[in-house]
Structure 1
Amino acid sequence: MLRRTCLAAAALLMGTMTAAVAQDQKVVGLAVANLQADFFNQIKQSVEAAGQEMGVEIITVDAKGDAAAQVNQIQDLLTRQVQALIYIPAGATAASVPVKAAKAAGVPVVTVDRNPADAPGDSFIATNSVEAAKDLAKHVCELTGGTGKLLVIQGQTGTTPELDRDQGFKEGLAENCPGVEEVARQASTMWAQDEGFNITQDMLQRYPDVNVIFGRADALALGAAQAVKVANLDHDVFIVGFDGDVAGLKAVQDGTLDATMTQRTQAMGRLALETALALIDGEEAPAEQLQPATLTTQENVGPFIEQHP
């Protein structure tokens, strides 16, 4: 009888300890724009891996590119009482709504890649896209010898990466080769490869003599490369992207793309979680944490394919 009583007491104690551990476990919400994009998927993988390592519960939701759906998803995360939110806006539309809702609930917000101008996160983590796009523009100047006609396939208008890449690339061309003239541009809605193909096909019909195309994301650049191949032009066209996602890196390796800018997605995901945990603990975090990107060509692409930074 005494043995049974002791066993019951031990089981009760273990259950109480397990409940205490569960109660102490931090819970962080991760709201991702669209997991069909490798860039966002890399961030997710990094956050979840770091969460497992640190004993943090990560609740992930995928907006699949739908800004309205994302607002509802984040409301649900707040109802589930996440202690911090890592937020990658699905677009410029309604991007500030989740930040305002989270702050009203006392939940700190770490924005990644995109930061609503009228409601920024407590800390913003992204690539320094202005400087990275400048480096890419300088490389385009070297590829073309300083002259040429350029087509630009934009990302989602109004988003942080689109605005910053536009600024940096323009500045880079102006500083290094004003002889490269932008003749046309068109925006995508989802940064998707099929959009890059369709947009480029349309622009090539009007501007068949272009010799440079900048897809603001690797997927857009890959679509452009398909369109150039189908067009069977009588001259070479240099095609550059931005992101350094897996497909983009392999396309640089095989010569389909001439260059991309590799972002530190794995490092950014871990940094986002570390920042979220610091904010939960009441610590201060930098308003901006901008990360470098690396100009990536056939000469240096190999290590990035083996291990993404």
Structure 2
Amino acid sequence: MKNFKSVFVLTAVLFALVSLTGMASAQEFSVGMTVQDLSNQIWAATATELEELVEADGGEFTAVDCKSNAAQQVSQIENFIASGVDVMIVHPAEKNAVEEPLKRAMEQGIKVYSWDEKLENSDMNWVIDNYELGRMIGRHAAEWINEKLGGETQVGVLTYPQIQILKQRGDGIVDAINEYAPDAEIVAKSSAINPVEGIAKTETFLQQYPDMKVIAAIGGGGAVGANEAVKAAGKLTDDFGIFAADATDQELEAMVNNEANRMSVLITGDAEKMASVIYGYIQKLLNDEEVPQNVYRELIPVTQENVDQYYNGQE
């Protein structure tokens, strides 16, 4: 009888172990993410936070950088299809280039999450009204010009027309400055999506236009570089202003230190918040739950007046 009980208990234990192993296997999943540029702080930090969330649930996460090259991104998408990922997060470098490979991905049962672009071949698009975001940046720049500079100054714009949605953002900046500070003069435009480009382009601005007092940028990467260039050139004064989007830690730290970064639009939240929102939708996609096709992100202007709500200093 004892032997029978022992065998029964052992069998039960083995069955439980097999069941638990099966449950773990069922929970395993893989997520592939292709990003425009991982030298951009907010995008890179969000990818890092996503990796932690996915791996904490037993999944595998891979993020790759296409360096804003559409052909390279298509190749990365093809690699994700070949590896059989369950979900693909795509931050398109060029909308039309990714539609066809993403169609093939969906035909193979891969869930597609588009970050920052309205795609036809996706399960969900997490998007921004980029023209209105640009206008928000431009309005804050115009208010600074009117309040600090008597309505007149030379303005530089760091845009990025290589990517359509960022071109829309740049157009919004220009239109709002022209509308709300009509006596200001936009004397220079150039492309900058990361700090290295922001430094180089701002150095050129300031050499050509030493009286420039305002720079408006489509993103935090260029804005961080612009701030460093302004300081290095000895141009940091109480009336010099840089206005942008992303509200990266570097931008917010500069605000706290009363440097040239005066306003940046926080989009959804910090990297941790963004990753949490993205992962919440990924879980819904994995569970075949219904999600909206287009979800618009919240836009929150951060200035010296409210920066303490969004920046807690370096760890």
Q: State how far apart, in whole Å, the 1-side matches of 2:7 and 2:81 are.
A: 42
8 Å contact kept, 1:86–1:272: no
Paired letter, 1:109? V
Residue 183 (structure 1) aligns with: 187
Alpha-carbon displacement from aligned partner over 1:95-150 (angstroms, at most 9, x marks no partner): 4454233223232211113x266x55321113443333322222211211133221
Alignment pair present for 1:260 and 2:261: no
8 Å contact kept, 1:138–1:176: yes
Residue 61 (structure 1) aligns with: 63
Alignment pair present for 1:169 and 2:180: no
The farther-off stretch of 176-185 and 66-75 is 66-75
The farther-off stretch of 87-96 and 274-283 is 87-96
Alignment pair present for 1:270 and 2:273: no
Select which of 303, 307, 310 maps to 1:301.
Answer: 307
Q: State how far apart, in whole Å, the 2-side matches of 1:6 and 1:107 are.
A: 43
8 Å contact kept, 1:36–1:64: no
The farther-off stretch of 144-153 and 224-233 is 224-233
Paired letter, 1:193? P
Q: State how far apart, in whole Å, the 1-side matches of 2:296 and 2:209 are.
A: 36
2:296 aligned counterpart, secondary structure:
strand
Measured after TM superposition, the shift of residue 28 of structure 1 is: 4.3
Q: How does 1:229-248 map to 2 (within 5 A)?
A: 229-233=231-235, 236-248=239-251
Q: Give percent identity, aligned residues only.
A: 23
Q: How does 1:91-106 map to 2 (within 5 A)?
A: 94-96=97-99, 98-106=101-109
Alpha-carbon displacement from aligned partner over 1:192-247 (angstroms, at most 9, x marks no partner): 21211111222323222222111222221222223233334597532222211111
Measured after TM superposition, the shift of residue 74 of structure 1 is: 3.4
Q: How does 1:100-119 map to 2 (within 5 A)?
A: 100-113=103-116, 115=117, 119=120
TM-score (norm 2): 0.82
Alignment pair present for 1:85 and 2:91: no
The farther-off stretch of 275-284 and 229-238 is 229-238
Q: Structure 1's 240 and 97: CA in aligned 2 closer, same or farther, altered over 3 A?
A: same
1:89 aligned counterpart, secondary structure:
coil
Q: Structure 1's 13 and 69: CA in aligned 2 closer, same or farther, altered over 3 A?
A: farther
1:219 aligned counterpart, secondary structure:
helix
Q: Structure 1's 123 and 307: CA in aligned 2 closer, same or farther, altered over 3 A?
A: farther
Residue 27 (structure 1) aligns with: 29
8 Å contact kept, 1:65–1:91: no
Residue 43 (structure 1) aligns with: 46
Root-mean-square deviation (CA), in Å? 3.0
Q: State how far apart, in whole Å, the 2-side matches of 1:183 and 1:305 are.
A: 33
Paired letter, 1:158? I
Q: State how far apart, in whole Å, the 2-side matches of 1:144 and 1:251 are.
A: 19
The farther-off stretch of 97-106 and 218-227 is 97-106
Measured after TM superposition, the shift of residue 172 of structure 1 is: 2.2
Q: State how far apart, in whole Å, the 2-side matches of 1:156 and 1:92 are.
A: 13
Residue 227 (structure 1) aligns with: 229
TM-score (norm 1): 0.83
The farther-off stretch of 93-102 and 221-230 is 93-102
Residue 153 (structure 1) aligns with: 158
8 Å contact kept, 2:265–2:301: yes
Residue 125 (structure 2) aligns with: 124
Q: State how far apart, in whole Å, the 2-side matches of 1:247 and 1:69 are.
A: 29
Measured after TM superposition, the shift of residue 305 of structure 1 is: 1.1
8 Å contact kept, 1:66–1:90: yes
1:258 aligned counterpart, secondary structure:
strand
1:15 aligned counterpart, secondary structure:
helix
Structure 2 gap ranges (5+):
none
Residue 297 (structure 2) aligns with: 291
Alignment pair present for 1:208 and 2:210: yes
1:157 aligned counterpart, secondary structure:
coil
